[in-house]
Structure 1
């Protein structure tokens, strides 16, 4: 446990001091070790796992949220979503706080409810110099204990959990959000539901 904690702390130091880097598109599709983790939405025994690395302050991530939900609606028994945090704090300064809000809600069993609220009300909290009141209002709307929620938002353990997702993203050479993988294979620039459907249908036929 000490080695893991030191590793996470070191990764956090590097991550939190990193300057913005230009995003480039690679021709070769990246792969991801499907070792689980993250938060899941969908059946545990689903035939296909859709992994998303996302940043709650990213407008593109918000734009993709209904697309991802439509994919889950089309495949309610076959597809499971696995979400991982990748807050790009150098360009989205409130993204870490948003990830902490989602994780704090998860401590009370309402991760996905907060996940949806954060994207829905992105325009309210994203430009704020202090987004916590907005997150607290969301917590109230979904029935969370406010004191427990705010205490959890300041938890080093939850921050480390997010940093572990960031480390995994770095290991997979992910440079943009959102980034999607289906059964470990990256999908490049899925512009529509059909881009997901084509890959999922091919996987289901195997």
Structure 2
């Protein structure tokens, strides 16, 4: 999300079964989106599935939604109200139903969610996180600086503001 040439980039490594990821997405992400709206920040989302097969299934679904330009809406529903979904709500049928609720083409969504390219991209994102030392979620890289855990919002605001100040020099 955000312009490719934004002065600061934040990479988020998250898991759809991580309660701290859900909390961060509900409380801090909206503040970060203000920076995105001002073309100061680009947010790149990467799945780091540490909580099992339901996490991986949710990642594939979110990626399938992204292929229809619906990633953020789908993401927001997976973390609705800052909570994670019960694992039963991450079955293929439940995830397709959520896609339908969001107006996505469910036939294409299902095809994409089951596809090898989507599975491969999820593995690539996972490997990127572990290669960078992200073994737990949420983990972040803000302007090249690693951050681990759902820190208070002000920690992220300060990190982005500091990075912006460095780019202004």
Deviation at 1:44, TM superposition (A): 2.2
Name the structure 1 match of 2:159: 199
* Aligned 8 A contact 2:59 2:122 in 1: yes
Name the structure 1 match of 2:21: 61
Q: Judging changes above 3 Å, is the alpha-carbon distance between structure 1 residues 106 and 179 closer, same or farther for their aligned structure 2 residues?
A: same
Answering whether residue 83 of structure 2 is matched by residue 127 of structure 1, we say no
Deviation at 1:183, TM superposition (A): 1.2
Q: Which secondary structure state, in structure 1, belongs to the residue aligned with residue 87 of structure 2? A: coil
Answering whether residue 16 of structure 2 is matched by residue 52 of structure 1, we say no
Greater percentage in helix = 2
Name the structure 2 match of 1:87: 49
Q: Which secondary structure state, in structure 2, belongs to the residue aligned with residue 94 of structure 1? A: helix
Gaps in structure 2 of 5+ consecutive residues: none
Deviation at 1:166, TM superposition (A): 1.0
CA RMSD after TM alignment: 1.9
Answering whether residue 140 of structure 2 is matched by residue 180 of structure 1, we say yes
Gaps in structure 1 of 5+ consecutive residues: 1-40
Normalising by structure 2, we get a TM-score of 0.87
Between stretches 132-141 and 173-182, larger displacement belongs to 132-141
Deviation at 1:114, TM superposition (A): 1.2
- Alpha-carbon separation, structure 1, partners of 2:12 and 2:162: 19
Deviation at 1:205, TM superposition (A): 1.4
* Aligned 8 A contact 1:190 1:196 in 2: no
* Aligned 8 A contact 2:48 2:126 in 1: yes
Q: How does 1:26-41 map to 2 (within 5 A)?
A: 41=1
- Alpha-carbon separation, structure 2, partners of 1:148 and 1:63: 30
Aligned length, in residue pairs: 163
